[in-house]
């Protein structure tokens, strides 16, 4: 009986392997064939449907100027990507969560929550470039295809021959590793796209530093981009990613534009605590001796949070002549 089940199990694996071999497409980034059950047309349709569902649940932020600004940066990056032949849609969501994500087919989202903590246009470009990387490498399609194939195989084995629990465990581990690999590739692609439009690829490290500071501040792992166990500046893989992109000739020819970005987000909606909101207010440090402790006296959040907002966490202080953010 056990030998019979094993034989049928192998047959199921062979069937799934045949399916994989017959359902291949060329990845736009690698140029190699990959397993895919979803065509480009289906991918775009999936993204369009998902987009409608997302904006119904979480509305776009009601600020045309900021939406246009984010779209402008995103479109510049997308035009230099491996898939510049599809339409990209960039949306700022009115959401206090620190997050950004992409749907298949070119739909990319960034929240007001994460934008409040970024401190330059280069960092914004880093977030958008990373999400564009997920789209260009078709990560969403790969995961959907793998998930569909795994579900079919698990269902067949579980219903007819047993052993579904084992396959579920194997599948869970495999997909977990798959996600980490995708995140690192998206960082590599994001750094490359940054360089191709002139930003320094090191902005990618700055973005992840912001997220790591968020983790330290909150005392828990971030739900977004939780790939690097150590601080990103010490991560060898990320350093290799950024180092490779720095060799692109246009890398670093465009400033990170700290002041310009802060002026764009002046007035941005900010969640102070559950059910309580304020606005980001940008001002110039005009006199010596100003500290985040003194700024906190005119802000709705404490000095510790102000350091986090201004990229100075945990011990930094503002400098004379620079723009800083407080919350009113």
Per-residue 3-state assignment (H helix, E strand, C coil) for 243-286: HHHHCCCCCCCCCCCHHHHHHHHCCCEEEEECCEEEEEEEEECC
User: pTM of the full predicted structure?
Assistant: 0.82
Task: Quote the Cα angle for 274-278-279, to 5°.
Answer: 140
Which helix (H) or strand (E) covers residue 220, if one does?
none
The pLDDT tens digits for 164-222 are 444 344 344 333 433 677 888 899 999 999 999 999 999 999 998 898 888 889 887 66
Distance (Å, whole) CA 228 – CA 237: 9
Q: Which domains does the chain have, with CATH numbers?
A: 1-265 (no CATH), 266-327 (3.10.350)
Tell me the average pLDDT across 114-133.
97
* 205-225 burial: b if 16+ Cβ within 10 Å, else e: bbbbbbbbbbeeeeeeebebb
| pLDDT value, residue 247 | 96
Distance (Å, whole) CA 122 – CA 198: 10
**Residue bearing tokens 């439009």:** 197
| pLDDT value, residue 129 | 97
**pLDDT of 231 strictly over 80:** no
Residue 280: what are its φ and ψ, rounded to 5°? -75, 130
| pLDDT value, residue 176 | 41
Percentage of the chain lying above the pLDDT 70 cut: 73
The pLDDT tens digits for 14-57 are 344 444 444 556 666 765 566 556 777 888 888 889 899 999 99
């Amino acid at each position: 009986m056990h030998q019979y089940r094993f034989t049928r199990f192998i047959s199921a694996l062979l069937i799934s392997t045949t399916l994989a071999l017959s359902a291949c497409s060329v990845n736009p980034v690698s140029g190699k064939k990959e397993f895919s059950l979803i065509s480009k047309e289906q991918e775009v349709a999936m993204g369009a449907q998902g987009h409608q569902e997302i904006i119904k649940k979480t509305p776009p932020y009601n600020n045309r100027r900021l939406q246009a600004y984010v779209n402008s940066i995103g479109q510049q990056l997308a035009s230099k990507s491996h898939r510049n032949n599809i339409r990209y849609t960039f949306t700022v969501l009115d959401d206090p969560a620190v997050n950004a994500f992409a749907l298949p087919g070119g739909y990319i989202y960034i929240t007001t929550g994460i934008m409040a903590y970024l401190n330059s246009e280069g960092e914004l470009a880093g977030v958008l470039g990373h999400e564009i990387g997920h789209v260009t490498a078709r990560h969403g399609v790969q995961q959907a295809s793998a998930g569909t194939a795994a579900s079919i195989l698990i269902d067949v084995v579980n219903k007819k021959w047993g052993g579904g629990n084992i396959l579920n465990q194997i599948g869970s581990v495999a997909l977990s590793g798959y996600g980490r690999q995708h995140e690192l590739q998206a960082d590599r692609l994001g750094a490359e796209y940054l360089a191709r439009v002139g930003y320094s690829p090191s902005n990618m490290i700055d973005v992840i530093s912001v997220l790591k500071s968020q983790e330290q501040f909150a005392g828990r792992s971030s739900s977004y981009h939780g790939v690097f166990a150590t601080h990103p500046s010490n991560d060898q893989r990320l350093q290799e990613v950024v180092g490779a992109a720095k060799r692109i000739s246009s890398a670093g020819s465009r400033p990170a534009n700290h002041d310009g970005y802060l002026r764009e987000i002046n007035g941005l909606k900010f969640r102070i605590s559950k059910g309580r909101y304020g606005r980001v207010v940008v001002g110039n440090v005009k006199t010596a001796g100003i500290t985040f402790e003194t700024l906190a006296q005119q802000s709705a959040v404490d000095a510790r949070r102000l350091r986090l907002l201004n990229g100075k966490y945990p011990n930094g202080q503002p400098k004379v002549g620079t723009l800083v953010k407080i919350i009113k």
